[in-house]
Amino acid sequence: MQFVGHADITDDLNLVNMTLYQDPTTKIVNLDPDTQFDNSNVIVGSMLLPPPDAMIAMANQDEAQFDLIYNMYFDTPEIQQYITIILAYLYKKGNLLFYSPILKDPTENIIIVKFLNLLYDKYGLGIGVINQTPCNFNMSMKIIWNNLLYSSMIISPREFLINHPVGMQIDIPIMEMLKQDLSEYLLEDDNLEKERRIYELSVRLKEKPNLIIPVGRMYQ
């Protein structure tokens, strides 16, 4: 898998405004609920930060409880859907610039540090810090990316099968989705035979990416 864009974070509001003016292909993800932008290229991102009960744990200096709550929050379907949108944009369209005024504030930036660490640990997206560290994609997570993008109909069955590593089992919900999408290609009645043909097709598509296969639904 190859991402066309990269993701970075800054606390420089001037840079954010300049990016909005000069680069319409870069979306701004605003992590600060107190800063408002009147621009369609700005996405509200504060929901990615810790929920109130996690912040209460942090105020009580209970970092272990904070980590537990935030970790569970990051696994909710709403956050997973948001992360999928982020990955889809980076994969297909362009760059993201996250904005947080507390990025380098030693009294508050632990919240941003925890967010960046969770995003990398769970989804393999290492957001770069402007003028400090580059964006980094942990390629060991590509099966997770592939599953998220296909299950959200961001990539087609063809692209999923090309991206899926040879010899790796396909998750059951994804396999069922493939059977549905490729029903015009899979004419067998036997489920195991259908699965065998899907794995075989994955290998063939890596050798011949332009191989024509009928797909039952429209994809982005």
Inside any domain, residue 21: yes
Q: Are residues 34 and 129 in the same domain?
A: yes
pLDDT at 91 over 70: yes
Q: Are residues 27 and 94 in the same domain?
A: yes
* The model's pTM: 0.89
d(CA 208, CA 162) in angstroms, rounded, equals 9
Inside any domain, residue 220: yes
pLDDT tens digits, residue range 100-123?
Answer: 999 988 878 899 999 999 999 999
7-10 and 27-30 beta bridge pairing: unpaired
Instruction: Mark which of 141, 176, 201 sits at the end of a domain.
Output: 141
Inside any domain, residue 24: yes
> Do the beta carbons of residue 25 and residue 94 sit within 8 Å?
yes
Q: What is the distance in angstroms between the CA of the first residue and the CA of the last residue of the chain? A: 17
**Number of separate domains in the chain:** 2
> Do the beta carbons of residue 161 and residue 197 sit within 8 Å?
no
Please give the average per-residue pLDDT across 129-146, as a whole number.
94
pLDDT at 217 over 70: no
Q: Are residues 33 and 67 in the same domain?
A: yes
pLDDT at 183 over 90: no
Inside any domain, residue 1: no
- Percent of the chain with pLDDT strictly greater than 90: 78
Domain residue limits at 132: 7-141
- 184 membership: H or E segment, kind and range: none
Q: Are residues 54 and 132 in the same domain?
A: yes
- When mean pLDDT is compared across 151-165, 187-201, 205-219, the lowest value belongs to 205-219
pLDDT of residue 122: 96
Q: Which amino acid is at 150?
A: Y
Q: Are residues 161 and 130 in the same domain?
A: no
